[in-house]
Amino acid sequence: MSRALTGTEVAEKIGRGFPGAVVEANQQWVTVAAEQLLAVATHLRDDPEFDLRYLIGVCGVDRLDHFEVVYQLQSLSRNHITTLKTQALDH
């Protein structure tokens, strides 16, 4: 079974490299600003400490006033998973 990385521990490390990217963090997930999602996700994939190369789940959530996109990411080499969320942009 994979170890779940908490949103707060992932947020702490994201915040160091991407100031302002973390919108919210708790034990279950980290929410990042939509504008920085690609950079943060790329970092989580390429950083050997995370090595979150596998997208194991993605879904959308209708929050009535906005949509969220929820990504579940996994590292097979590090044997951990985490949940990353973002708010869909309004265009």
Domain ranges of the chain: 3-87
This model's pTM is above 0.95: no
Please tell me the predicted confidence (pLDDT) of residue 91: 62
> CA geometry: angle at 42 spanning 68 and 73, to 5°?
55
Q: What is residue 50's three-state secondary structure?
A: coil
What fold, for 3-87? Beta Polymerase; domain 2 (3.30.460)
User: In which residue are the tokens 């279950």 written?
Assistant: 28
Please list the residues that pair with 76 across neighbouring strands: none
Q: Give residue 26's pLDDT band: very low, low, confident or very high (50, 70, 90).
A: very high
Amino acid at 4: A
Lowest-confidence segment of 9-13, 16-20, 24-28, 87-91 by average pLDDT:
87-91
Please tell me the predicted confidence (pLDDT) of residue 62: 94
Strands (E), the chain: 3-4, 22-25, 30-32, 54-62, 67-75, 80-87
pLDDT digits (tens, 9 = 90+) for 32-72: 999 999 999 999 999 999 999 999 999 999 988 889 999 99
